[in-house]
Amino acid sequence: MCLQCDYENLLKRARLEATDNRLRVLAVVGNNSSPLSAGDIFNTLQRSSAINRVTVYRILDLLVAHGLVDRISTGGRAAYYGLAPNEHHRPHPHFYCKRCGQMECLNPESLTLAGDAFQKTFSGQIDKVEIRVDGICKNCMH
């Protein structure tokens, strides 16, 4: 969730045209408290006004490529999307409930990595580190 983010500005800073569709996608991703699947995003947008599913995929790809949005893998089939870390959002781990498919953002401090040494010894390019906790959420435990 990002109430401090000016999506139009975010796009401009990335030198991307701030088209209507892009703003809509970014708003859905950014205003949700946890990551969503491309399908979720498409359905949400569809409710307010028509958009093509492919357009959603393409915009998500674009936003990921430009680092505005993060593609997060789940224990399930589809990728989820959330706002990428920035000055308002520190990188953080996620919890994935294999029962209901809901993904939840965890506190940045809840799981911290001691990986400084690793970065120095690894001889490839590191783009990101993803930490995901899989299990069953409180609601699904009944």
Partner DNA sequence: ATCAAACATGCAATAGATTTGCATTCCCCT
Partner DNA sequence: AGGGGAATGCAAATCTATTGCATGTTTGAT
Is 91 within 8 Å of 111 (Cβ atoms)?
Answer: no
How far apart are alpha carbons 142 and 139 in whole angstroms? 6
Looking at 44-52, 109-117, 121-129, 132-140, which segment touches DNA (CB under 7 A)? 44-52
Phi first, then psi: give them for residue 91, nearest 5 degrees.
Answer: -60, 145
Q: Is 47 in the site for DNA (CB under 7 A)?
A: no
**Tokens linked to 95:** 């919890």
Q: Is 52 in the site for DNA (CB under 7 A)?
A: yes
Length of the chain (residues): 142
Contact string 32-71 vs a copy of itself (x = CB under 8 A): ---------------------------------------x
| Count of residues touching DNA (by CB under 7 A) | 23
Q: Is 16 in the site for DNA (CB under 7 A)?
A: yes
User: Cβ–Cβ contacts within 10 Å for residue 10, how many?
Assistant: 23
Instruction: Rank residues 109 and 127 by Cβ distance to DNA and give the closer one.
Output: 127
Phi first, then psi: give them for residue 102, nearest 5 degrees.
Answer: -70, 140
Q: Is 46 in the site for DNA (CB under 7 A)?
A: no
Identify what 6 binds: DNA, a copy of itself, none; CB under 5 to 8 Å per kind. none
Residue 28 three-state SS = helix
State the number of CA atoms in the 13 A half-sphere of 37 facing the CB.
Answer: 13
Interface ranges with a copy of itself (CB under 8 A): 71, 73-75, 95, 97-98, 106, 110-115, 117-118, 121-138, 140-141
Task: List residues binding DNA (CB under 7 A).
Answer: 16-17, 19-22, 37-39, 50-55, 57-59, 61-62, 77-79
